[in-house]
Amino acid sequence: MAQKPILILQKEADSKLLHWIANDPIADHATALLTIDSAIEATRLLDSLVFTHVILAAEGVDCEMAMTVASCSPDRVAGLLLLNPPARLQSKATNIPTLLLTTADHTPPVNAQGDHFRLQESPTAHLSEIVSAFLALRVA
């Protein structure tokens, strides 16, 4: 199976869990951590890459930006991995497979679409398997 590229978008959040995904030594995906200023910048960057389908990952308020990029480039985004999205998440990318991950202290958005998985006390314990399963089962 070919590696699926994951682009982690960061503007406001500095996620330890997303850093862990980016540095996972046994991952079946290639990962790049990008600090960007806007959805427009992220879309331009996405257009300049050689990857045809990427998975966008973000945490907190940066999830809105990832969803905006996905809705602007649905033919380039194969999936969304959203960690602790805001309580009032504006759903924009309805046809894109989405994995919502929340930690024990976070409440998932009520209107969120996609698969939801609550990470327990040790969030990194099964994170690699969860991400791999999502990529294999939901992302073409």
Q: Which residue has the higher pLDDT, 67 or 108?
A: 67
pLDDT confidence of residue 2: 57
Taking all residues of the chain, what is their mean pLDDT, rounded to a whole number?
76
Q: Provide the pLDDT confidence category of residue 26 given band limits of 50, 70 and 90.
A: low
pTM higher than 0.85: no
Where is pLDDT greater, at 64 or 22? 64
Amino acid 62: pLDDT: 86
Ordered strands of the 98-102 beta sheet: 29-35, 4-10, 54-59, 77-83, 98-102, 115-118
Distance between CA atoms of residues 35 and 28, nearest Å: 23
pLDDT at 28: 63
Nearest to 135 by CA among 62, 50, 30: 30
In order of their start, the domains of the chain are 4-137 (3.40.50.1820)
